[in-house]
Structure 1
Amino acid sequence: MISMIMVLNQKGDIMISRQYRDDVGRAAADSFRLQVVAAKETGTEAPVKRIENCSFLYTRHLNMYFVALTRSNVNPALVFEYLFQLIRILKAYLGEDFDENAMRNNMTLIYELMDETMDFGYPQNCAVDVLRLYINLGNVRPQDEPEPSQLTSQITGAIDWRREGIRHKKNEVYIDVLESVNLLLSSNGNVLRNEVTGQVQMNTKLTGMPECKFGLNDKLVIDKEKEDRKPGVEIDDCTFHRCVRLGKFDADRTITFIPPDGEFELMRYRVTDNINLPFRIIPAVQEEQGMTKVSINLKVIANFSDQLYATHVVLKVPVPKNTAKAKIKHSFGRAKYEPEQQAIVWRVKRFAGKAECHINAEVDLMPTVRPKPWSRPPINVEFQVPMFTASGVHVRFLRVYDKSGYHTNRWVRYITKAGNYQIRI
């Protein structure tokens, strides 16, 4: 498995290193420095480098390299997952934007975390909630920290993501269903690529050790429960947090789990059929002979309910490189030609559902010695629509079972945003 973990700065100097096996040494950092850091290949080359029979798998956070070394034939996905988890853990302890100074000022803490998250090159406990029980930033012991015997049971038990004895004044659960719409539309309106990737984020503040049962309008569940008349959504694939009982899900498609305390991602899913596109865009582009002018006409239609609205709507309409100026007319919002982006950028803070907008632009072009055909890059769209899901997924229920039978307040929020949302012209 993993023989060594290193963290290097942008100059290639080692800030942190932990050796788990004897088949590599710190001298390997020199090879990585010459082959990768000095060559500035990160971002353009594959994040796996084979140097002198040693594999270097690396990723970056700000100006730092997180590198895993191994001489065995490992699963790269597992190694990268550990590197990403290590960065996530450091963010939880040192802040989202931890830098080189934060690393140097907390070296003892970082070595403790690396020792707890890996044993002889095999990733072990990477749960932030559990690590915080016995690895703290300061020397003061928290009042609610468990005794050593309880801690051992917590780490080695079947439910290591949640400790016993948690108490809250109010029992609350916040659910966020976040979706990202990816679309590629041809110039004549045909869908070339269309999918929705979603995630269910939860923030639980529950007393004790409750069991939760969570339900979406998944088509396989709806088909079994004939009394539910709402249409089901066909989810192509999904992944779950490790607290979910997969055996129960495979048996009857119910999502049951004992949740971690606080924020966590319950599941991810993907939908490719029957997607309700938030925006429909109809482009019409005409190039005059001699390439002296280009006329662009767009019709933008919001497909969601008139009770909703989209925010932070941005359309980037590409124009030729030799554009001199552009005269733009639009129904609402603000639009201008931005030479640095080689596009007409139209921005709307609030776009009402079922509304329509027309954008007309007359683009004057500068003459060129060797005119080239315009490649016509696609229109890029950005948006965010609260309380709307493009896939049609919605939360059917969340039931909380606890011995004391306390009441739980539940809140659900839906947000759909643009992923890679493009329309060819």
Structure 2
Amino acid sequence: MASQIHFLDIKGKPLLSRNYKGDIEPSAIEQFPLLLLELENGDEDLQYRPFVTSKGINYVFINHNNIYVCALTRKNDNVMTMVVFLLRLIEVLTQYFKSLEEESIRDNFVVIYELLDEMMDFGVPQITDTKILKEYITQDYYKLIRKTRQVQPPNAVTNAVSWRKEGIAYKKNEAFLDVVESINMLINANGQVLNSEILGEIKMKSKLSGMPDLRLGLNDKGIFSSSTNDDDTPSELGASGSRKIEMEDIKFHQCVRLSKFENERIITFIPPDGEFTVMSYRLLSTQFLMKPLILVNCKTVVHKHSRIEILCSVKAQIKKKSTANNVEIIIPLPEDADTPKFTSEYGSTKWVPEKSCMIWKLKTFPGGKQYHMRAELGLPAVVDQEMELLKKPIKVNFSIPYFTTSGIQVRYLRINEPKLQYQSYPWVRYITKSGEDYTIRTKQ
């Protein structure tokens, strides 16, 4: 994979280097600043790629806190694999030193060399789990050299289960599962959904003793497969019947046995200790578009030389037994608006002049309810481009507990520890929230 790993400052001056194979001259890194300059001045489409090639040498790099972390190789390796390793290297060093900067690199040469030797062997990635590395590579190097005996790596390094150490013990054995789905949606002024997606994660906090073997059951037959059978549980997206949901970008934690999942659609794993993400996924609706969970209808009237008037209504299109929490409706305003006056049936409204917007907040929003708000703001300047205001979309933030939009449910979480045979307590929570792009176009 990588022949060399280099840390360089923002000007391209080397700070620290590790040569794994010796098949590339150490002076080859001196060409990197010139190659980077050529890349920045070249084709715009090439400026964002994380690699550059010169004289048969591939330079794969990442910029972090004005530091370049660069890997060199002569082989035609997978670039993204090297990028992932560099990102993991940065993450490990950040967890060691809190902030990976030029100063922290200069102050911790010895520890960084130790980590580079353990994380990669002859250019091949080995151990990238910070919890395991911290067991025998401490932040204080002098503690290591004063010990009378050689520090031995923990069993997890050579064990098949490298993400979990042996001997973990808890007085009360518990496992907490969180099914979190983020909704991205683009809605037009008439309330029609133009585009939508669900980004989901199944997160876990493990407080289990020993080496437990877990089996996670989901109502997944209608989701993991392209079609559903009569005995399958359908996925519901807020309306009726037989719908096709395609799950894409499924990613599992390294602890999940992929062969078991691919052959039998069963999720089994030995969990790491503490918090981690078991699985992430993305759902796209193909034959239909789901209805908005929070629908906003906003009408803006701009009176020239006078004021701007906004009439806004919001409706929670969720089941009556459900409640949306911390709802925020962010409405764009002209930059020169002033003297605001707000009247709302429910919630509070705040003017944020530095962001040229107003925010209508509803702490709790029961399903099926609808509320109205009216706002007036002064508009002292002459407005010739009032239509530009109407083109800016409204952004909505919210969270809905005890609810998943896709209909994914945890049917069971079986915990088996063959040696200890303890009683365990699994807990499951569900939450649906707005994603980074839940927007509504205003009427024009």
Q: Same fold (TM over 0.5)?
A: yes
Specify the code of the residue in structure 2 equivalent to 1:418.
Answer: S
Partner SS for 2:85 = helix
Tell me if the contact between 1:3 and 1:20 (Cα under 8 Å) persists in the aligned partners: yes
Correspondence for 2:251: 239
Tell me if the contact between 2:4 and 2:71 (Cα under 8 Å) persists in the aligned partners: yes
State how 1:104-119 maps to structure 2 within 5 Å. 104-119=106-121
| TM superposition shift of 1:398 | 0.2
Specify the code of the residue in structure 1 equivalent to 2:311.
Answer: N
| TM superposition shift of 1:325 | 5.0
Change (3 A) 1:366 1:59: farther
For 1:416 and 1:304, the matched residues in 2 are separated by 11
Q: Deviations over 1:77-132 (max 9, x none)?
A: 2122112211222233333x454444333332222222222233332322334323
State how 1:22-421 maps to structure 2 within 5 Å. 22-23=23-24, 25=26, 28=29, 31-32=32-33, 35=36, 45-50=47-52, 52-53=54-55, 54-95=57-98, 97-138=99-140, 139=143, 148=152, 151=155, 154-220=156-222, 226=231, 231-232=234-235, 234=245, 236-237=247-248, 238-273=250-285, 275=290, 277-287=292-302, 293-324=307-338, 326-368=340-382, 371=385, 373-374=387-388, 376-403=391-418, 404-419=420-435, 420-421=437-438
User: Unaligned 5+ residue runs, structure 1?
Assistant: none
Partner SS for 1:93 = helix
Tell me if the contact between 2:118 and 2:126 (Cα under 8 Å) persists in the aligned partners: yes
| TM superposition shift of 1:216 | 1.8
Change (3 A) 1:211 1:45: same
| TM superposition shift of 1:24 | 5.1
Tell me if the contact between 1:47 and 1:57 (Cα under 8 Å) persists in the aligned partners: no
Change (3 A) 1:334 1:61: farther
| TM superposition shift of 1:408 | 0.5
For 1:102 and 1:367, the matched residues in 2 are separated by 51
Change (3 A) 1:414 1:67: farther
Tell me if the contact between 1:5 and 1:68 (Cα under 8 Å) persists in the aligned partners: yes
Correspondence for 2:7: 7
Partner SS for 1:335 = strand
For 2:327 and 2:30, the matched residues in 1 are separated by 46
Partner SS for 2:84 = helix
Partner SS for 2:127 = coil
Q: Deviations over 1:360-384 (max 9, x none)?
A: 2334434449647416111112223
Specify the code of the residue in structure 1 equivalent to 2:295.
Answer: R
Change (3 A) 1:163 1:338: closer
For 2:386 and 2:153, the matched residues in 1 are separated by 75
Change (3 A) 1:83 1:355: farther
| TM superposition shift of 1:280 | 1.6
Partner SS for 1:67 = strand
What is the alpha-carbon root mean square deviation over aligned residues? 3.7
Give the stretch that moved more between structures: 129-138 or 365-374: 365-374
| TM superposition shift of 1:350 | 4.0
Correspondence for 2:17: 17
Partner SS for 1:272 = strand
Give the stretch that moved more between structures: 309-318 or 240-249: 309-318
Change (3 A) 1:13 1:291: farther
**Scaled by the length of structure 2, what TM-score is found?**
0.80
For 1:29 and 1:325, the matched residues in 2 are separated by 59
Tell me if the contact between 1:387 and 1:415 (Cα under 8 Å) persists in the aligned partners: yes
Q: Deviations over 1:251-282 (max 9, x none)?
A: 22111111122222111111223757431222
Give the stretch that moved more between structures: 392-401 or 126-135: 126-135
**Scaled by the length of structure 1, what TM-score is found?**
0.83
User: Unaligned 5+ residue runs, structure 2?
Assistant: 237-244
Change (3 A) 1:127 1:256: same
For 2:36 and 2:215, the matched residues in 1 are separated by 51
Partner SS for 2:26 = coil
Change (3 A) 1:217 1:122: same
For 1:178 and 1:356, the matched residues in 2 are separated by 26
Aligned length: 414
Change (3 A) 1:14 1:330: farther
Taking every aligned residue pair, what percent have the same amino acid on both sides? Answer: 36
For 2:162 and 2:414, the matched residues in 1 are separated by 22
Partner SS for 1:169 = coil
For 2:404 and 2:41, the matched residues in 1 are separated by 41
Specify the code of the residue in structure 2 equivalent to 1:174.
Answer: F
Tell me if the contact between 1:109 and 1:137 (Cα under 8 Å) persists in the aligned partners: yes
Tell me if the contact between 1:336 and 1:345 (Cα under 8 Å) persists in the aligned partners: yes
For 1:160 and 1:189, the matched residues in 2 are separated by 50
Change (3 A) 1:391 1:319: same
